[in-house]
Amino acid sequence: MRIGVIGLGRMGAALAFRLQSCGHELVIWNRTPEKAESLVEAGAALGESPAAVVEQAEAIITCLLDENALDEVFNGDRGILSADLTAKLFIEMSTVQPRTQRALDERVKAKGADYVECPVSGSTGPAREGRLIGLVGGTPEDVARARPIIEQLCRRFEHAGPVGAGASLKLAVNLPLVVYYQALGEAYSLCRHLGIEPERIVDLFSDTSGGANILKARGAMIAKGMRGDGPQPVTFDIDSFRKDLRTMLAEGAELGLSLPVAERTLSVYDEASQQGWGSRDGTSLAGYWPTRASDRAAEE
């Protein structure tokens, strides 16, 4: 199948490489063209605009940073909605509020296309291997059409309900993770003075009620972050988690909900970013709080 991929950040590029490895022909576009170079070298065609990608593809995947980026790509000059969308399939994979997904669904459907949302749980490594978890929203008919593509990207396919349901689940899934990274930092600050190697701490946590799946998947990186080693390879950075936390809080406000833990966690992520940690991988946050706490203690 000829598939368009619009948005080639870390996750978008990983998804595109996975689709290439599955034998699909790709036509791609990104706001910063240099991010497309490696995919073009691997055989992808480069579209001149989002509209040009739509015109050349049967199915189009979008994976963008936030609501503003989606608005630019869909509604901007030579954006997606300026093209003929008749009979096209859209799979939208950005992490945004449900209302954003519902609005895009309405506009795309009005132009004769099918629309499915599929934000995912997982990072770039699983994306390249087709081991993500897809949190899918859409009509049964549209989801059935998108399923063969999504199943090549995801090891688990969770159809949550109509468009918007997938976005709700994605925000819910991400909230405990971002809180957990901060909780690990606070926990380590309580035992750091014992001089136990971070690898031993992570291994112990993973074998107790203080464990979480992320310790098994990324324990080595978390331990390096606790130790204060140099910045690790980035799969999802602290600033991106800040964006997700703001989105969670905005959705909570729309639902009339208070999310005090998420709100306090965002304040720590904001502080870490202001201290120059924003571009570091999220796993490094487990090392931020102990360092901050020891620095404050020294000042006092």
pLDDT tens digits for 24-41?
Answer: 999 999 999 899 999 999
Which of the following is catalytic: 109, 111, 170, 243? Answer: 170
296 occurs within a structural domain = no
Same domain (yes/no): 139, 18:
yes
Distance CA(94)–CA(98), nearest Å, equals 11
User: Which of 139, 162, 185 corresponds to the end of one domain?
Assistant: 162
Distance CA(96)–CA(78), nearest Å, equals 23
pLDDT in tens, 241-299: 999 999 999 999 999 999 999 999 999 999 999 999 999 999 999 999 888 855 555 55
Distance CA(133)–CA(139), nearest Å, equals 19
**What CATH number is attached to the domain comprising 88?**
3.40.50.720
User: Which of 143, 162, 181 corresponds to the end of one domain?
Assistant: 162
Residues shown for the chain: 300
Quote the pLDDT of residue 202.
95
Same domain (yes/no): 6, 57:
yes
Quote the pLDDT of residue 66.
95
Chain mean pLDDT for the chain: 94
User: Which of 162, 183, 210 corresponds to the end of one domain?
Assistant: 162
Quote the pLDDT of residue 111.
98
Same domain (yes/no): 129, 218:
no
Let me know if 170 is a catalytic residue: yes
Q: Is the pLDDT of residue 91 over 80?
A: yes
Domain region containing 256 = 168-291
Q: Give the chain's domain count.
A: 2
Quote the pLDDT of residue 190.
94
pLDDT in tens, 75-86: 999 999 999 999
Same domain (yes/no): 25, 129:
yes
134 occurs within a structural domain = yes
